[in-house]
Copies of this chain bind each other. A is one copy, B any other.
Amino acid sequence: MLQYQAPLEEFNFLAHKVLRLSELLPLLPEHHHIDADLFRATLEVGAELTQEQLLPLNGSGDAEGCRLEQGGVKTPQGFKSAYRLFQENGWPALTVPLSIGGQGFPGTAGVFFDEMLASTNLSFSIFANVREGVLRCVDRFGDERVRSLFSDKLASGEWLGTMCLTEPQAGSDLGLIRTTAVTQSDGSYLLSGTKIFISNGDHDLTENIVHLVLARTEGAPAGTGGLSLFVVPKYQLEVPASANGVSVIALEHKHGIRANATCALAFENARGYRVGELNRGLACMFLLMNSARLAVGVQTVGLTEVAYQNALRYTQERLQGRALNGATHPDQPADPLLSHIGVKSSLVQQRLFIEPARLLCAWVGTLLDEARCHPDDARRKQASQLAELLTPIVKGYLSQHAGTHISSALQLFGGHGYIVETGMEQLLRDAAICPIYEGTNYIQSLDLLGRKTLSDQGQRLGIFLSHIPALAERLRQRPGLEGVVTTLASWGAEFEPLVQQLSVDTVFNRDVVGLVAPDFLELLGTVVFGYLWAWIADAAAPSTSDEKFLRSKPALARLYFSEAEVRVPSLIEKLKRNASRLGLLEQIQLC
């Protein structure tokens, strides 16, 4: 059985010492009522909820799974009452703006709370999470009727939500979507079509479910430019409620997240309401997609954190072999696994991932707050652009690496890691969805290099790079971190010529982007992690002696740089060799 202690010290350190929320929040009208004490106290209550209510349901929910009975999905035992508690205690409203009935906590609080949800019960967290993105779409793009019908119920979590994009023939290529929407005299639409892989597609947690659906109106152009967005409730909104032509065709059997209901849904003349302009559905949906992509990054942090905690505990307790430099526990039949340097090194690698991954998510959460409501126009724009650059890194880089670290944690258990009852193997299965959903990682890498870097003339990338000198300046005053400063600055200087070369190469062959995009994501992710480690080390350096958990951070940062220093040049060299790699790929016939 897995154990979990929410890393509250880390949360508060990142929020207040690193991101300095107490300086920022007073400037943000939506969040200025939240101070450090309320932030801390709220996360403490959230920690209790997740540790005591959700963790005990994680293994049992996985074993039991969801069931399809008489056309409806039943969630595993305990999920319904856990959701009721979750909802009645107001958690759905945590980061919902005050203006629409929420509590107005900043995005960082949401990121940390969601991390605890993911650490303790990923399937439950997916049920809980999509709703807020649906709400934000409805609130931003819906007309008064739509807002009045759905906002309150979504804000309170009385109803949950879904995103209906994928169809059997349309996965990464949404331009192939066929679901139709036929306009009605009252301004509503009747939707018909098949949607697959719909998380939370049906369940018994709430009385109604709000589907956000991409569909094509009559006469709309082909491709993504002909897609509009609709909100379609499971039950019609009249009283008494009647079914609305949405039925469950299939409940998927999956590798992981088995307690979440992934459904194929048939829409047959289901009544829906348009959200946003005609044929601009994809742009509206992207508001939700971007928050979903941040959520995936947060999930990977939660999963690696709980895997790490359990591996650390096991390696402290399990006695096996003797340390190479001599017994550390000569009174015992063997030394604890943690006495072996290779075991410690594996755990440290996990920490080197988790800490900057958590800060990255929290940082993007803060940037999205700034982008929405900072009083300074330029600051809003810059925050928005930086968040756009970092989003594919949050989703793609984190989910690409999380599986490796969870697998390392599992392997520290030896054969016990492979046994279901230990709980580690579920984490590996659950995490395996993260590289796939909300846009595959290959799509993320194309987004990062193509749209966010090359098509942008490097502007968004420039915003990130412009942050480096100020941090370097602060770090120069920290003894022992001089090497970090030099390396970070040298990395920053590599990007301009590299992006220029890639731009030129792409003019001659568009496949250059398609080939090197994953390498570019890996490179920028590695450099962003360096920036984040430097930031953490800077904030931790003046720690007083009672903050024991901060003492290792400068050494962790230096270790990160020591290893990344040899990887970054090899990644850059690989990117530069794209022409010869493309040439060789063309000579290779796979079939």
Contact = CB atoms under 8 A, between A and B. Distances in A.
Interface of A: 166, 169, 171-173, 176, 196-197, 252-256, 312, 316, 319-321, 323-325, 333-334, 338, 340-348, 351, 403-404, 407, 410-411, 414-415, 417-421, 425, 428-429, 432-433, 435-437, 440-442, 445-446, 509-511, 513-515, 517-518, 548, 551-552, 555-556, 558-559, 562-563, 566-567, 569-571, 573-574, 577, 580-582, 584-585, 587-591
Contacts of A509: 325
Contacts of A440: 411, 414
Nearest to A316: B591
Which interface residue of A343, A510, A548 has the most chain B CB atoms within 10 A? A510
Contacts of A316: 591
Contact of A320 (B173, B425, B429, B585): B173
A415 B334 contact: no
Contacts of A341: 511, 514-515, 582, 585
18 contacts: A172-B414, A253-B420, A254-B419, A254-B425, A255-B429, A256-B418, A323-B511, A324-B513, A342-B446, A348-B588, A348-B590, A403-B407, A411-B441, A418-B436, A552-B589, A559-B581, A562-B580, A563-B574
Which interface residue of A171, A574, A580 has the most chain B CB atoms within 10 A? A171
B436 A254 contact: no
A581 B555 contact: no
Given A341-B511, A569-B570, A574-B563, A558 B584 contact: yes
A587 B555 contact: yes
Contacts of A252: 419
A407 B346 CA distance: 21
A255 B428 contact: yes
B333 A176 contact: yes
A320 B510 contact: no
B166 A585 contact: no
Given A171-B414, A316-B591, A511 B325 contact: yes
Nearest to A583: B555
A95 to B, nearest CB: 28
Nearest to A563: B574
In the complex this chain forms, how many copies of it are found?
A: 2
Contacts of A584: 555-556, 558-559, 562
Contacts of A582: 341
A173 B334 contact: yes
A254 B591 contact: no
Given A341-B511, A559-B585, A407 B432 contact: yes
Contact of A587 (B425, B433, B552, B562): B552
Nearest to A573: B566
Given A341-B511, A419-B254, A588 B555 contact: yes
A591 B172 CA distance: 44
Contact of A588 (B324, B556, B571): B556
A255 B418 contact: yes
A255 to B, nearest CB: 4
A470 to B, nearest CB: 26
A573 to B, nearest CB: 4
Contact of A324 (B342, B510, B571): B510
Contacts of A510: 324-325
Contacts of A411: 435-436, 440-442
Leading 6 A-B pairs by shortest Cβ distance: A255-B425, A555-B587, A324-B510, A341-B514, A253-B420, A566-B570
Contacts of A573: 566
A128 to B, nearest CB: 20
B418 A254 contact: yes
B587 A312 contact: no
Contacts of A514: 324, 340-342
A190 to B, nearest CB: 25
Nearest to A558: B584
Which interface residue of A348, A562, A588 has the most chain B CB atoms within 10 A? A588
B428 A414 contact: no
Nearest to A315: B590
A141 B565 CA distance: 52
Contacts of A255: 418-420, 425, 428-429
B436 A417 contact: yes
B442 A342 contact: yes
A523 to B, nearest CB: 12
Contacts of A346: 442
Given A334-B176, A573-B566, A588-B348, A415 B171 contact: yes
